[in-house]
Amino acid sequence: MNKAQLVEAIADKMGGRQQAADAVDAVLDAIVRAVVAGDRVSVTGFGSFEKVDRPARYARNPQTGERVRVKKTSVPRFRAGQGFKDLVSGAKKLPKNDIAVRKAPKGSLSGPTATIAKAAGKKAAAKKTTAAKKAAAKKTTAAKKTAAKKTTAAKKTTAKKATPAKAAAKKTTAKKAPAKKATAKKAPAKKSTTRKTAARS
């Protein structure tokens, strides 16, 4: 029996093929997510699903007989419940007009199981954390860009201010230089006056 046949088998009980397909998908998705998160999914009378860690080990290649190193890994494991085992072995007869696996006790179906709720909570928390990290990264990038722009603008302003000051200093120096030359020219005039005085006497 494959998934499509499983959906067809429960379609009458679920009120239609689409509802049956949605139910099968939802159950399988919840089991897979819980096991991946490291939780144990246990269904009374049917069995339990869990994640098992396998340490690194050496194995042999069946074709060549060569010894091969196998890395550490995690694998899913299913253990059949006692009721399931008894039905398969023939210790108990399979009911014709009733459900093979016993129904859950009253009150236990009021909400999602702790395992499924925990897996959903972890997923939501992971999404929130990822969103917060992305927002923080965007803010940091924007702040860096703003700071870089301010620094560039400050450098340009400083350069503009420094350039007129230097130009003014150069102009002042250039203006003062001719004044010194004029003073130097006046000095010989004084000497000639002294010569004239000496000649008269």
Q: pLDDT digits over 26-40, tens only?
A: 999 999 999 999 999
15: left (phi over 0), alpha (psi -120 to 50) or beta: left
pLDDT at 98: 78
Locate the domains of the chain by residue range: 3-51+68-139
54 compared with 120, residue with greater pLDDT:
54
C-alpha 66, offset from chain centre: 41
Q: How far apart are CA 29 and CA 44, in angstroms?
A: 19
Q: pLDDT digits over 119-146, tens only?
A: 555 655 655 666 666 666 666 666 666 6
Q: What angle do CA 183, 188, 190 make, to 5 degrees?
A: 90
DSSP state at residue 76: E
CATH of span 3-51+68-139:
4.10.520.10
Q: How far apart are CA 26 and CA 22, in angstroms?
A: 6
Q: How far apart are CA 30 and CA 118, in angstroms?
A: 11
Is the pLDDT at 79 greater than 50, yes or no? Answer: yes
49 compared with 176, residue with greater pLDDT:
49
Q: pLDDT digits over 176-192, tens only?
A: 444 444 444 444 545 54
Q: How far apart are CA 131 and CA 124, in angstroms?
A: 11
pLDDT at 97: 78
Instruction: List residues bridging with 80 in a β-sheet.
Output: 47
The token duo for 69 is 């190193």
Q: How far apart are CA 49 and CA 97, in angstroms?
A: 27
